[in-house]
Structure 1
Amino acid sequence: MLSRTTIAEMEDRRRQPGGGKDRISGLPDELLHDILRRLHSTPAAARTSALSRRWRRVWARSPDLVFGDDLRRGVEGGGTSFLDSLDAALAAYSDDPAVHVDSLKITVPRRCGENVPAPRVAPWLRFASRRLAGAFYLSVPYQPWPRVNFEDDELELLPCEGATKIELQLGSRFLLRIPQAGTFEALSDLEIRLATMDGRELTFLVSSQCPRLRNLTLVVHLLAASDVALCSATLRSLVFHVRNTLRLDIAAPMLENLDVSKVADAHIAAPNLGDVALSSTDVVFADAARHLRRLAFRQCSALAPLMRRFDSVNTLQLETPKGLGSYKTFLDGTNYLPKCEILSVSSLWVCNHAFKPSLIHLLRRCNGIRRLHLLFKFPSMNPNCSSDCPCRLRESPMTNRIILDSLQGIEIHVLRGSAKKFVEFLEQLLSNIWSTTKLIKLKSVEMNIMCHGSPLSDQLCKKISELCPPNVRIKSNVFPEGFTRD
């Protein structure tokens, strides 16, 4: 890969007597563009104009423009100088309207601050609208929600007929407006994160201005509580995490993957759905298949009708509840479960004593599963539980033996916590499983652990092995440092 040092060495050689013939500058523009592309930095590419007159026009016709990636890798620069250099580079780019940009990537470094004004950002969007014939990525440092005053922070997402992919990470301080004129004729992938939008404009953008849209991700905040209706004949994947949405209507005959949250009421017509993740209050599937590859619920209150809506799923993912009220609702909602091969149960709450009784409740209703996946964070076992903790209930769902005659493997993923606490919790959990279930085909228990401090000691590993029957193979991995899981 070329570097700034390499460019400087080339320039020194050119200036030295007898430094040799300049063979690189004689290459066709297409090859020179490929060389500059490997710099992954348009400012660095612009500095090659110092090599010779031949290079002065090469970078300004490059099909790939990248700003900010070198700063993210620790190279000096940033602040106002970065913004000035970016504006100057876009202004100096070829004035030939026939020269298009295949990709434009702008990553504003955090050293520029969290208050980059809209007048500095707007010209970048205008440039993309006029010159882009490919992918556009823009990331601006963000502030947390909520933001109520947008007088000086309005941005327009101008129509760009040549854009095939747009990814915007703007920050909540920007109100992203959608002009009614024009289309995004070639756009197949659209992702907007952290901006604020108008509900009607969002509806118009997706349903009327993007005729070829296939993948859509929205993690935004509506300016005012309103309904959103998305109608698309081409949409295949939708992630909709839009705060302030009252009712969401989806009509997408080709939709296969759906992830919805932050919505009070959703009505979905999508007969080709195969992967569904929900954390909405009330969801109605007007048109959907009876079998799914994956069905995931994140603290969804109306579980019962959704569970009966589908006959079978390959993977069923559930989060255990918090508190006595939600625990009872969870039990009622999961009295019936669709047939599944993989059951995944997670507990992401601190001091969640509902995890074990909820798990046994689910196992009793999923006796045909082949694999069991467990995910939880620490501290998940706190002796100082609340007065309405499920563990204080007189009735315990641990009674009666459960027959899991198809279970072949258990995967346990532990995020956070000390190794000692993990082993203590695992001992209680597995002892309950062994005592309440009949396991015939179980062959392996795989544990992935991320504990604070050092990896598990040999003594703790040995203790874990002793928790399982001798015919079960134990595989224990410690997540590497810096591991994260969403």
Structure 2
Amino acid sequence: MADGGGYDLLTALPDDVLRLILARLPSTAEAARTSVLSRRWRSLWTNLPQLRFADVTDLARVAAVLRHHSAPIAAVLDLVAPRLQGKLLVDIITPGDQNSAAGIGSAIQIPTFEKATEITIRLLRGIGIRLPPPSGSQRDLGGAVSSEGCPSLRELRIRNADVVSNLAIRSESLRLVQLSRLQGIRQLTISAPALTELDLYACLLWGMPMVDIFVPALGTLRWVDFFRWTSVRFRAMPNVHTLAVFVMVYGYVSHSLPLLQYFTEARDISSNDKLLVEAVKDELPAIEILFLRLLTEGHTFGPCVFHLLRMSPSIRELKLQLEDHTEGRKVPCSSGCICYKPRDWETMNLRLVFLQKVEINNLSGAECQIYFVKRLLRWMPVLKTITLSFDPSVTVSEELSKELLSFSTPEICMEIYLHRDGARVKYSAAN
């Protein structure tokens, strides 16, 4: 802006103030356009601490920006590393198969952050994590995020990255660890005495990795993976109160086993696979919240859930997420199928004296599912609410809805949700 004499008032501002102005523009492209204003503005945008590319489809333009910027990603991180205190977010959204087109390498170099308390690294598949060349002692990713590299770190999140085959995290300070869709792990070791929340999603899908976990203070465990480990050790987890796991009721992978065999004595194993939790043979820890994602593939899940509930007498809340990927191609299993074991689930009674809330999603209306709901209601003397939701592709008859309501009692609030015209609606009995 100019005053009455035509003098540009912005010219008098320091460069740091001008960069603050540019940093508040919606995108890096708009900041770069200010280069045409004058020679003074030409290089200001190249020193911005943050680059934003909104709705970009031409990755060559992104590459050009990165070439002109005075501090590439690795250099920025190296500059920040010794000064950072608090949270760090590294969020790379360039698709991995387009890295070469964008002029970006296949790995992001991450230094160590000794004063960081929270680190989140979110990459897209195909981008790896690289550490700086060692100076004195070799350090891998596990060492970089462990106490030796980040002694103050309390929260660690890594998503969609290619990592080292032997990932060992040993930390005295970590409280939360979330690892999601990591490629390349063959051995996973986590030793964190103060850790209270562990979330592992699709990190051990391939091969037969070895797992060794020591987390005595753990309260919440979420684990979604195909359990095909050559060796697994869960040591000292007496305080777990929330457990969320993915279960193949009767796995379609040749090495997978029914849930029952993951929680029984080793002598019951009929293949070379090991137990999911070797330490748990008679009773789970004092679980209060149990969340099961059940891959049914046309099989009945009642016996498996019965077995878990029998081992979880302290459970207060149960959530079942049913998944079936066969899309109508399944052949119904026979009554002699292993997924019906233990057989006594049909006659034995449980007394789940703490269970007050139940939620079951993606019901198909199959006879075995309706029978399970009927049995479940008999096992819960203090149940307050049960929510039943049907799969969007299922047409639910009035008779079936009324049958489910008939299983309930006046003390229980039962809600049934159906899908009509693409919308999820609560069932209301016809007058």
**Bin of the TM-score, shorter chain as denominator length:** 0.5 to 0.7
- Taking CA–CA contacts closer than 8 Å with sequence separation of 6 or more, which of the two structures ends up with the larger relative contact order? 2
Instruction: State the Cα deviation string for residues 229-280 of structure 1 (Å, max 9, x = none).
Output: 3333333322356555454443333333234552733334444332234566
Cα deviation, residue 360, structure 1: 2.4
- Counterpart check, 1:403 vs 2:351: yes
* AA partner of residue 169 (structure 2): L
CA change 1:338–1:36 in 2 (3 A) is: same
* AA partner of residue 343 (structure 1): L
CA RMSD after TM alignment:
4.8
Matching residue of 1:351: 298
Matching residue of 2:277: none
CA change 1:158–1:443 in 2 (3 A) is: closer
Q: Give the counterpart of 2:376 among 391, 413, 433.
A: 433
Query: What is the DSSP-based 3-state SS (H/G/I as helix, E as strand, rest coil) of the residue aligned with 2:31?
Result: helix
Matching residue of 2:210: 265
Cα deviation, residue 38, structure 1: 4.2
Q: Give the counterpart of 2:384 among 434, 437, 443.
A: 443
Cα deviation, residue 47, structure 1: 1.8
Cα deviation, residue 289, structure 1: 5.3
Q: TM-score, normalised by structure 1?
A: 0.60
Matching residue of 2:55: 71
- Counterpart check, 1:140 vs 2:94: yes
**Where do 5+ consecutive residues of structure 2 fail to align?**
99-103, 266-280, 425-431
Cα deviation, residue 21, structure 1: 9.8
**2:288·2:316 contact (CA, 8 Å) conserved in 1?**
yes
Matching residue of 2:332: 384
Cα deviation, residue 448, structure 1: 4.7
Of the structure 1 ranges 400-409 and 49-58, higher mean CA displacement relative to structure 2 is found in 49-58
Q: 2: CA distance between counterparts of 1:62 and 1:482? A: 46
- Counterpart check, 1:369 vs 2:318: no
Query: What is the DSSP-based 3-state SS (H/G/I as helix, E as strand, rest coil) of the residue aligned with 2:370?
Result: helix
Query: What is the DSSP-based 3-state SS (H/G/I as helix, E as strand, rest coil) of the residue aligned with 1:451?
Result: coil
Q: 1: CA distance between counterparts of 2:334 and 2:11? A: 74
Q: 2: CA distance between counterparts of 1:368 and 1:325? A: 26
Structure 1 or 2: more strand by fraction: 1
Matches within 5 A, 1:24-39: 36-39=22-25
Q: Give the counterpart of 2:219 among 274, 288, 305.
A: 274
* AA partner of residue 216 (structure 1): L
Cα deviation, residue 138, structure 1: 2.3
Query: What is the DSSP-based 3-state SS (H/G/I as helix, E as strand, rest coil) of the residue aligned with 2:217?
Result: coil
Matches within 5 A, 1:164-243: 164=116, 165=119, 167-169=121-123, 171-172=125-126, 176=130, 178-181=132-135, 201-207=140-146, 208-218=148-158, 220-221=161-162, 227-240=166-179
Instruction: State the Cα deviation string for residues 312-370 of structure 1 (Å, max 9, x = none).
Output: xxxxxxx64537953551462664233333333331242232x1121223334444433
Instruction: State the Cα deviation string for residues 397-439 of structure 1 (Å, max 9, x = none).
Output: 211233334332211222xx8xxx34867534323334xx244
Q: Give the counterpart of 2:190 among 245, 250, 259.
A: 250
CA change 1:221–1:461 in 2 (3 A) is: same
* AA partner of residue 141 (structure 2): L
CA change 1:478–1:52 in 2 (3 A) is: farther
**Where do 5+ consecutive residues of structure 1 fail to align?**
1-13, 94-122, 145-151, 184-198, 300-318
Structure 1 or 2: more helix by fraction: 1
Work out the number of aligned pairs and report it.
377
Matching residue of 2:261: 329
Query: What is the DSSP-based 3-state SS (H/G/I as helix, E as strand, rest coil) of the residue aligned with 1:71?
Result: coil
Cα deviation, residue 56, structure 1: 5.3
- Counterpart check, 1:284 vs 2:233: yes
Q: Give the counterpart of 1:338 among 285, 290, 294.
A: 285
Q: Give the counterpart of 1:159 among 108, 111, 119.
A: 111
**1:40·1:66 contact (CA, 8 Å) conserved in 2?**
no
Q: 1: CA distance between counterparts of 2:263 and 2:143? A: 41
